[in-house]
Amino acid sequence: MTAENRLREQICQLAKSMFDRGLTGGSTGNISARTDDGGLLVSPTGTSFGRLDPGRLSRFDATGKLIGGDAPTKEMPLHSAFYDTRSTAGAVVHLHCCNAVALSMMPDADEDNFLPPLTPYAIMKLGKVRLLPFFRPGDAAMGKAVRSLAGKRSAVMLANHGPVVAGKDVEAACNAIEELEDTARLALMTRGLQPRMLNAAQITDIVTHFDVDWEE
């Protein structure tokens, strides 16, 4: 099996795992990954994470030209924005996971640092998550909003919509977006209960020890 075929299989397996566990439903969500030649494999428009076909993934060459597969997701501007501004991005995942979306609707949501510091893992895998305003699905303005961050964030939360996460590879991106959803769930579970969060010194220690890109 070629490296590209292995990547195709991996994308579909990870997407199905997230679908089967209810992280995104119906035909929602999209996923992409860099190929060895600098191109992209992307989930097609209108497809379900539970039923992606490795042979029908949208295939782009290194110049951004669609050269194979079905038509890509309408959220390509989001994916392109991360690849163009973060040299370390090897994959991008976007989900419509319920807890993260619910947290984005709260009136006191922190735009600069969306996730409260409840555990070390979201800090380690995501850094600070920027909460972006609501955009109509497919609106190219979402990509412009990500580009305005100049590559300083690996993850954003689209208000009333869902998270978007870039990782060094597709497995890392999927692990990180699942951590985002888990942390959002914890935040909702403990809302109003005054949970003990990590303090500034603990956060600094985690950021330093794990060399986290912690944009101030």
Name the catalytic one among 9, 111, 121, 216: 121
198-213: b (≥16 Cβ within 10 Å) or e: beeeebeebbeeeebe
Q: Helix, strand, coil proportions of the chain in percent (round to 5)?
A: 40, 15, 45
Cβ partners under 8 Å of residue 146, min gap 6: 78, 81, 82, 85, 132, 156, 164
Question: In the prediction, which pLDDT does 58 show?
Answer: 98
Task: List Cα–Cα distances, 112 to 28, 48, 55, 78, 103, in angstroms.
Answer: 26, 31, 39, 19, 14
**Residue 121 annotated among the catalytic residues of the structure:** yes
Per-residue pLDDT tens listing for the chain (216 residues): 799 999 999 999 999 999 999 999 999 999 999 999 999 999 999 999 999 999 999 999 999 999 999 999 999 999 999 999 999 999 999 999 999 999 999 999 999 999 999 999 999 999 999 999 999 998 999 999 999 999 999 999 999 999 999 999 999 999 999 999 999 999 999 999 999 999 999 999 999 999 998 876
Name the catalytic one among 75, 178, 179, 181: 75
Question: In the prediction, which pLDDT does 138 show?
Answer: 87
Chain centre distance of CA 96: 10
Q: What is the distance between the alpha carbons of residues 10 and 29, in angstroms, rounded to a whole number? A: 16
Question: In the prediction, which pLDDT does 1 show?
Answer: 79
DSSP label of 95: -
Question: In the prediction, which pLDDT does 216 show?
Answer: 60
* Tokens (6 digits) for 45: 């428009």
Cβ partners under 8 Å of residue 183, min gap 6: 115, 116, 118, 119, 121, 122
**Residue 83 annotated among the catalytic residues of the structure:** no
